[in-house]
Amino acid sequence: ESTTFAVRVAPLGSTGQVLVLAEDQTERRRVEAVRRDFVANVSHELKTPVGALSLLAETIQDAADDHEAVTRFAGRMQHEAARLTYLVQDLITLSRIQGGETVPTPGPVPIDEAVHEAIDRCNTKASAKDITLVAGGAEGLKIWGDDELLVTALRNLIDNAVAYSPEHTRVVVSARPAGRSVEVSVSDQGIGIPESAQERIFERFFRVDAARSRATGGTGLGLAIVKHVAVAHGGEVTVWSKEGSGSTFTLRLPAFGGTAVAEPRTTSPL
Ligand code: ADP
Protein backbone atom coordinates (compact mmCIF):
# COMPACT_ATOMS: atom_id res chain seq x y z
CA GLU A 1 0.00 0.00 0.00
CA SER A 2 1.28 3.43 -0.87
CA THR A 3 1.02 6.50 1.30
CA THR A 4 -0.01 9.83 -0.19
CA PHE A 5 1.08 13.17 1.21
CA ALA A 6 -0.17 16.59 0.18
CA VAL A 7 2.63 19.08 0.71
CA ARG A 8 2.10 22.85 0.96
CA VAL A 9 4.86 25.41 1.23
CA ALA A 10 4.13 28.94 2.39
CA PRO A 11 6.49 31.85 3.13
CA LEU A 12 6.37 32.95 6.78
CA GLY A 13 5.86 36.69 6.38
CA SER A 14 9.07 38.45 5.40
CA THR A 15 11.22 36.39 7.75
CA GLY A 16 12.78 34.50 4.90
CA GLN A 17 11.55 31.30 6.50
CA VAL A 18 9.03 28.95 4.93
CA LEU A 19 6.35 26.80 6.48
CA VAL A 20 6.07 23.28 5.09
CA LEU A 21 2.83 21.44 5.71
CA ALA A 22 2.66 17.75 4.92
CA GLU A 23 -0.74 16.15 5.24
CA ASP A 24 -1.20 12.40 5.12
CA GLN A 25 -3.98 11.86 2.59
CA THR A 26 -3.94 8.08 2.57
CA GLU A 27 -7.14 7.80 4.62
CA ARG A 28 -8.95 10.45 2.57
CA ARG A 29 -7.95 8.66 -0.65
CA ARG A 30 -9.17 5.37 0.77
CA VAL A 31 -12.55 6.87 1.78
CA GLU A 32 -12.92 8.39 -1.70
CA ALA A 33 -12.14 5.06 -3.35
CA VAL A 34 -14.69 3.28 -1.15
CA ARG A 35 -17.30 5.88 -2.07
CA ARG A 36 -16.56 5.56 -5.80
CA ASP A 37 -16.80 1.77 -5.57
CA PHE A 38 -20.08 2.07 -3.72
CA VAL A 39 -21.64 4.33 -6.34
CA ALA A 40 -20.41 2.01 -9.10
CA ASN A 41 -21.87 -0.98 -7.25
CA VAL A 42 -25.22 0.69 -6.65
CA SER A 43 -25.46 1.67 -10.32
CA HIS A 44 -24.69 -1.88 -11.34
CA GLU A 45 -27.18 -3.38 -8.88
CA LEU A 46 -29.90 -1.00 -10.12
CA LYS A 47 -29.13 -1.60 -13.78
CA THR A 48 -29.72 -5.33 -13.59
CA PRO A 49 -33.40 -5.32 -12.53
CA VAL A 50 -34.16 -2.20 -14.58
CA GLY A 51 -32.70 -3.87 -17.68
CA ALA A 52 -34.72 -7.00 -17.00
CA LEU A 53 -37.89 -4.95 -16.55
CA SER A 54 -37.58 -3.14 -19.85
CA LEU A 55 -36.77 -6.37 -21.67
CA LEU A 56 -39.80 -8.07 -20.11
CA ALA A 57 -42.04 -5.13 -21.03
CA GLU A 58 -40.87 -5.38 -24.65
CA THR A 59 -41.45 -9.12 -24.67
CA ILE A 60 -44.98 -8.63 -23.35
CA GLN A 61 -45.69 -6.14 -26.12
CA ASP A 62 -44.56 -8.66 -28.71
CA ALA A 63 -46.53 -11.49 -27.12
CA ALA A 64 -49.71 -9.50 -26.50
CA ASP A 65 -51.96 -12.23 -27.98
CA ASP A 66 -50.42 -15.03 -25.97
CA HIS A 67 -52.30 -14.91 -22.67
CA GLU A 68 -50.21 -17.53 -20.95
CA ALA A 69 -46.94 -15.80 -21.89
CA VAL A 70 -48.23 -12.40 -20.78
CA THR A 71 -49.14 -13.79 -17.35
CA ARG A 72 -45.76 -15.47 -16.99
CA PHE A 73 -43.74 -12.39 -18.00
CA ALA A 74 -45.88 -10.12 -15.82
CA GLY A 75 -45.05 -12.38 -12.88
CA ARG A 76 -41.36 -12.01 -13.61
CA MET A 77 -41.79 -8.25 -13.85
CA GLN A 78 -43.32 -8.29 -10.39
CA HIS A 79 -40.35 -10.27 -9.14
CA GLU A 80 -37.84 -7.79 -10.59
CA ALA A 81 -39.83 -4.83 -9.27
CA ALA A 82 -39.78 -6.41 -5.79
CA ARG A 83 -36.01 -6.79 -6.01
CA LEU A 84 -35.68 -3.16 -6.94
CA THR A 85 -37.89 -2.20 -4.00
CA TYR A 86 -35.80 -4.22 -1.51
CA LEU A 87 -32.62 -2.69 -2.84
CA VAL A 88 -33.91 0.86 -2.55
CA GLN A 89 -35.31 0.16 0.94
CA ASP A 90 -31.94 -1.23 2.07
CA LEU A 91 -30.10 1.75 0.60
CA ILE A 92 -32.39 4.14 2.47
CA THR A 93 -31.92 2.22 5.74
CA LEU A 94 -28.16 2.18 5.28
CA SER A 95 -27.87 5.88 4.50
CA ARG A 96 -30.06 6.71 7.51
CA ILE A 97 -27.91 4.91 10.06
CA GLN A 98 -24.59 5.49 8.38
CA GLY A 99 -24.83 9.26 8.53
CA GLY A 100 -24.18 9.99 12.18
CA GLU A 101 -23.47 6.45 13.42
CA THR A 102 -25.66 7.19 16.41
CA VAL A 103 -29.11 6.01 17.42
CA PRO A 104 -31.51 8.91 16.85
CA THR A 105 -33.95 8.28 19.72
CA PRO A 106 -32.69 5.58 22.07
CA GLY A 107 -34.83 4.03 24.77
CA PRO A 108 -35.17 0.76 26.66
CA VAL A 109 -35.98 -2.08 24.24
CA PRO A 110 -37.23 -5.46 25.52
CA ILE A 111 -35.26 -8.04 23.54
CA ASP A 112 -37.97 -10.71 23.54
CA GLU A 113 -40.44 -8.36 21.82
CA ALA A 114 -37.90 -7.42 19.15
CA VAL A 115 -36.98 -11.08 18.61
CA HIS A 116 -40.63 -12.09 18.24
CA GLU A 117 -41.38 -9.30 15.83
CA ALA A 118 -38.35 -10.21 13.71
CA ILE A 119 -39.33 -13.89 13.76
CA ASP A 120 -42.91 -13.03 12.75
CA ARG A 121 -41.65 -11.19 9.69
CA CYS A 122 -39.44 -14.12 8.63
CA ASN A 123 -41.97 -16.88 9.28
CA THR A 124 -43.38 -17.15 5.78
CA LYS A 125 -39.95 -17.69 4.19
CA ALA A 126 -38.99 -20.15 6.94
CA SER A 127 -42.14 -22.27 6.66
CA ALA A 128 -41.72 -22.44 2.88
CA LYS A 129 -38.49 -24.38 3.59
CA ASP A 130 -39.85 -26.16 6.68
CA ILE A 131 -37.27 -24.36 8.80
CA THR A 132 -38.19 -24.04 12.48
CA LEU A 133 -37.46 -20.69 14.11
CA VAL A 134 -36.76 -21.06 17.83
CA ALA A 135 -36.31 -18.22 20.35
CA GLY A 136 -35.01 -18.36 23.88
CA GLY A 137 -33.31 -16.61 26.78
CA ALA A 138 -34.50 -13.11 25.99
CA GLU A 139 -37.11 -12.78 28.76
CA GLY A 140 -36.54 -9.73 30.92
CA LEU A 141 -33.48 -8.54 28.98
CA LYS A 142 -33.46 -5.03 27.64
CA ILE A 143 -31.04 -3.06 25.56
CA TRP A 144 -30.61 0.68 25.37
CA GLY A 145 -31.30 1.53 21.77
CA ASP A 146 -33.80 1.83 18.94
CA ASP A 147 -36.46 -0.88 18.67
CA GLU A 148 -36.97 -0.53 14.92
CA LEU A 149 -33.26 -0.74 14.17
CA LEU A 150 -32.91 -3.77 16.42
CA VAL A 151 -35.79 -5.54 14.64
CA THR A 152 -34.25 -4.63 11.27
CA ALA A 153 -30.87 -6.10 12.28
CA LEU A 154 -32.41 -9.29 13.69
CA ARG A 155 -34.63 -9.69 10.65
CA ASN A 156 -31.63 -9.45 8.33
CA LEU A 157 -29.75 -12.08 10.35
CA ILE A 158 -32.74 -14.45 10.49
CA ASP A 159 -33.50 -13.89 6.78
CA ASN A 160 -29.92 -14.89 5.93
CA ALA A 161 -30.01 -17.89 8.25
CA VAL A 162 -33.12 -19.12 6.43
CA ALA A 163 -31.80 -18.25 2.95
CA TYR A 164 -28.47 -20.07 3.41
CA SER A 165 -29.84 -23.19 5.14
CA PRO A 166 -31.23 -26.39 3.64
CA GLU A 167 -34.84 -27.45 4.23
CA HIS A 168 -36.00 -29.06 7.50
CA THR A 169 -33.36 -27.36 9.68
CA ARG A 170 -33.54 -25.09 12.73
CA VAL A 171 -32.63 -21.46 13.28
CA VAL A 172 -32.13 -20.53 16.94
CA VAL A 173 -32.31 -16.96 18.20
CA SER A 174 -31.00 -16.69 21.74
CA ALA A 175 -30.11 -13.86 24.09
CA ARG A 176 -28.00 -13.66 27.22
CA PRO A 177 -26.61 -10.98 29.51
CA ALA A 178 -22.89 -10.32 29.08
CA GLY A 179 -21.63 -7.80 31.60
CA ARG A 180 -22.70 -4.33 30.53
CA SER A 181 -24.02 -5.75 27.26
CA VAL A 182 -26.62 -8.11 25.98
CA GLU A 183 -25.70 -10.68 23.36
CA VAL A 184 -28.26 -11.84 20.85
CA SER A 185 -27.21 -14.60 18.50
CA VAL A 186 -28.74 -16.20 15.46
CA SER A 187 -27.51 -19.74 14.72
CA ASP A 188 -28.24 -21.84 11.68
CA GLN A 189 -27.37 -25.29 10.37
CA GLY A 190 -26.70 -23.98 6.90
CA ILE A 191 -23.94 -23.93 4.30
CA GLY A 192 -21.55 -21.87 6.42
CA ILE A 193 -19.06 -19.23 5.28
CA PRO A 194 -15.47 -19.95 4.17
CA GLU A 195 -12.97 -18.55 6.65
CA SER A 196 -11.34 -16.37 3.99
CA ALA A 197 -14.66 -14.57 3.41
CA GLN A 198 -15.73 -14.11 7.02
CA GLU A 199 -14.07 -10.72 7.40
CA ARG A 200 -15.54 -9.35 4.19
CA ILE A 201 -19.19 -10.35 4.48
CA PHE A 202 -20.03 -7.15 6.38
CA GLU A 203 -18.91 -5.03 3.41
CA ARG A 204 -21.60 -3.53 1.25
CA PHE A 205 -22.40 -5.78 -1.74
CA PHE A 206 -19.87 -8.46 -0.80
CA ARG A 207 -21.26 -11.93 -1.50
CA VAL A 208 -19.59 -15.28 -1.10
CA ASP A 209 -21.55 -16.63 -4.05
CA ALA A 210 -23.19 -13.89 -6.13
CA ALA A 211 -25.40 -16.25 -8.12
CA ARG A 212 -26.77 -17.96 -5.02
CA SER A 213 -27.30 -14.66 -3.22
CA ARG A 214 -29.28 -13.20 -6.13
CA ALA A 215 -31.33 -16.38 -6.40
CA THR A 216 -32.32 -16.02 -2.74
CA GLY A 217 -33.34 -12.42 -3.40
CA GLY A 218 -30.49 -10.91 -1.38
CA THR A 219 -29.46 -7.30 -1.96
CA GLY A 220 -25.93 -7.77 -0.62
CA LEU A 221 -26.58 -5.03 1.94
CA GLY A 222 -28.11 -7.04 4.80
CA LEU A 223 -24.97 -7.58 6.86
CA ALA A 224 -23.68 -4.05 6.19
CA ILE A 225 -26.94 -2.82 7.73
CA VAL A 226 -26.51 -5.16 10.72
CA LYS A 227 -22.97 -3.91 11.26
CA HIS A 228 -23.98 -0.25 11.13
CA VAL A 229 -26.89 -0.87 13.52
CA ALA A 230 -24.40 -2.43 15.96
CA VAL A 231 -21.87 0.39 15.56
CA ALA A 232 -24.56 3.07 15.95
CA HIS A 233 -25.43 1.47 19.32
CA GLY A 234 -21.79 1.39 20.38
CA GLY A 235 -21.86 -2.39 19.99
CA GLU A 236 -20.53 -4.90 17.51
CA VAL A 237 -21.46 -7.93 15.44
CA THR A 238 -19.29 -11.01 15.12
CA VAL A 239 -19.51 -14.24 13.18
CA TRP A 240 -18.54 -17.81 13.86
CA SER A 241 -18.95 -20.23 10.99
CA LYS A 242 -17.84 -23.57 9.70
CA GLU A 243 -18.42 -24.53 6.09
CA GLY A 244 -20.96 -27.29 5.84
CA SER A 245 -22.12 -27.10 9.46
CA GLY A 246 -23.56 -23.62 9.96
CA SER A 247 -23.08 -20.07 11.16
CA THR A 248 -23.69 -18.06 14.30
CA PHE A 249 -23.94 -14.27 14.18
CA THR A 250 -23.75 -12.49 17.53
CA LEU A 251 -24.94 -8.94 18.14
CA ARG A 252 -23.53 -7.33 21.26
CA LEU A 253 -25.49 -4.28 22.36
CA PRO A 254 -25.49 -2.04 25.45
CA ALA A 255 -27.73 -3.40 28.21
CA PHE A 256 -30.52 -1.51 29.94
CA GLY A 257 -31.88 -2.57 33.35
CA GLY A 258 -32.30 -6.35 33.81
CA THR A 259 -28.53 -6.80 33.72
CA ALA A 260 -25.59 -5.23 35.50
CA VAL A 261 -25.94 -1.81 34.02
CA ALA A 262 -28.23 1.16 34.54
CA GLU A 263 -29.39 3.68 31.98
CA PRO A 264 -26.40 5.39 30.34
CA ARG A 265 -26.01 9.01 31.41
CA THR A 266 -27.43 11.38 28.88
CA THR A 267 -25.90 14.44 30.53
CA SER A 268 -22.30 15.07 31.42
CA PRO A 269 -21.33 13.58 34.79
CA LEU A 270 -19.48 16.78 35.72
P1 ADP B 1 -27.16 -11.02 0.79
O2 ADP B 1 -28.26 -10.13 0.41
O3 ADP B 1 -26.31 -11.45 -0.35
O4 ADP B 1 -27.59 -12.13 1.68
P5 ADP B 1 -25.77 -10.00 3.12
O6 ADP B 1 -25.03 -8.74 3.34
O7 ADP B 1 -26.93 -10.26 3.99
O8 ADP B 1 -26.18 -10.03 1.60
O9 ADP B 1 -24.74 -11.21 3.26
C10 ADP B 1 -23.50 -11.17 2.57
C11 ADP B 1 -23.05 -12.56 2.18
O12 ADP B 1 -22.68 -13.30 3.36
C13 ADP B 1 -24.13 -13.40 1.51
O14 ADP B 1 -24.14 -13.18 0.12
C15 ADP B 1 -23.68 -14.81 1.85
O16 ADP B 1 -22.69 -15.24 0.94
C17 ADP B 1 -23.04 -14.67 3.22
N18 ADP B 1 -23.94 -15.03 4.34
C19 ADP B 1 -24.64 -14.18 5.13
N20 ADP B 1 -25.31 -14.82 6.09
C21 ADP B 1 -25.04 -16.14 5.92
C22 ADP B 1 -25.42 -17.34 6.61
N23 ADP B 1 -26.25 -17.32 7.69
N24 ADP B 1 -24.92 -18.54 6.14
C25 ADP B 1 -24.10 -18.57 5.08
N26 ADP B 1 -23.69 -17.47 4.39
C27 ADP B 1 -24.15 -16.27 4.80
Q: Of all protein residues, whose CA lies closest to atom 14 belonging to ligand 1? A: 207
Q: Do residues 186 and 172 touch, judged by C-beta distance below 8 A?
A: yes
Q: Please report the sign of the dihedral spanned by the C-alpha atoms of residue 203, residue 217, residue 252, residue 132.
A: negative
pLDDT for position 212: 76
| Portion of the chain with pLDDT greater than 70, in percent | 94
Q: Identify the residues whose C-beta falls under 6 Å from ligand 1.
A: 156, 160-161, 164, 188, 190-193, 201, 206-209, 213, 218-224, 247
Please, are residues 150 and 114 in contact by the beta-carbon 8 Å criterion? yes
The ipTM, to two decimals, is 0.98
| Digit-coded pLDDT (tens) for 73-132 | 999 999 999 999 999 999 998 988 877 677 878 999 999 999 999 999 999 999 999 999
Query: Whose alpha carbon is nearest atom 16 of ligand 1?
Result: 208
Alpha carbon distances (Å) from 28 to 2, 24, 35, 96: 13, 8, 11, 22
Distance CA 218, CA 240 (A): 21
Q: Give the mean model confidence (pLDDT) for residues 164-178.
A: 96
Instruction: Write the pLDDT tens digit of every residue in 207-239.
Output: 998 877 777 778 999 999 999 999 999 999 999
Cα dihedral 32, 35, 37, 41, rounded to 10, equals -170
Ligand 1 center to residue 218 CA distance, Å?
A: 8
Q: What is the DSSP letter of 32?
A: H
**pLDDT confidence of residue 259:** 54
Question: For residue 262, is pLDDT > 50?
Answer: no
Instruction: Answer with the residue of higher pLDDT: 193 or 10.
Output: 193
* Tens-place pLDDT, residues 173-199: 999 999 999 999 999 999 999 999 999
